[in-house]
Amino acid sequence: MHRIQVVESHTGGEPTRVVVAGGPDLGGGTLADRAAVFRDRFDTFRSCVVNEPRGSDVLVGALLCEPHDPANACGVIFFNNVGVLGMCGHGTIGLAVTLAHLGRLKPGAHRVETPVGVVTATLHDRSRATVRNVESFRKRKDVSVDVDGLGCVTGDIAWGGNWFFLVKNSLEELRVGNVDRLTDVAWRIRRAVNRAFPEPVDHVELLGPPADPANHARNFVLCPGKAYDRSPCGTGTSAKLACLYADGALQPGEVWRQESITGSVFEGTVEPGREPGAVVPSITGSAYVTAEAALVVDESDPLKYGIKG
């Protein structure tokens, strides 16, 4: 029997399962190096932790790692039902709240290494945190793709720690009762974008008016494994902020309130980035611990590594 110690939380409805002990030895090196080892050699571990029967398509895993630079608080590799993520905003808020719950993180700013760069998690109190993300930017503005069954769809391609295609004024109704249709539409859009452009876009973000007038926009974000984000998606909000900044529609320090399909909210601000037109987004949200558990892997279980998609 192998035991994997986990702490679970949700950030605006989106779950994160942090592996705090019992993970694979990925050797030394940067988080990008270790993420490559994880991807190449430990895909069964990924699937075991997040896929059924222990997990579900919506679950995001977070492997807590020693930092490469001892001056940093920790490293983390995020993963989901189909692979490894570059960064994860809701997951970093969940990680900060989880580490605080374990007594390993005090309020204040902490540098966290990820495969795509160092981010800063600022813990405000036991449930609220801000992630200062990696530099984010818009790569293509107002590009049109021919989507099977839908015709021409126009959007922006942007990086926010993952690659996104963002549709500004979605014609679809952004409500939970319409998730099957939204998933189908976003999946078709993703296929069309991947046919037309070289960027490895694996997230699609549909935007529309907020349900709550206190917010600026509502989104629906489809993740790489076809699950939708219950939170407003930290990296997706970062990509949106980069587009707004590039359009002159958001000034440094101005607060953008991004509402998710479930009604949860992230607050985002930007600082100008180092590259022209790029930004460093900060995303604030709340997470709550939902479980402390040991996953048990029985060698004789034919589904011990989960059901792979």
Which residues carry out catalysis? 88, 233
What 3-state class would DSSP assign to 193?
Answer: helix
Question: Which helix H or strand E contains 120, and what residues bound it?
Answer: strand 117-123
Minimum CB separation of residue 23 from ligand PYC in Å reads 20
Minimum CB separation of residue 120 from ligand PYC in Å reads 15
What are the backbone dihedrals phi and psi of residue 10, each rounded to the nearest 5 degrees, phi first?
-130, 145
Minimum CB separation of residue 176 from ligand PYC in Å reads 17
DSSP annotation string for 206-243: EEE--SSTTSSEEEEEE-TTSPBPSS--HHHHHHHHHH
User: How far apart, in whole angstroms, are the C-alpha atoms of residue 30 and residue 23?
Assistant: 17
> If you compute the radius of gyration of the chain from its CA atoms, what whole number of angstroms results?
18
Instruction: Report the interface residues with ligand PYC, using CB under 6 A.
Output: 14, 60, 85, 88-90, 223, 229, 231, 233-235
Minimum CB separation of residue 160 from ligand PYC in Å reads 7
Report residue 201 as tokens: 């876009």
Enumerate the β-bridge partners of residue 60: 16
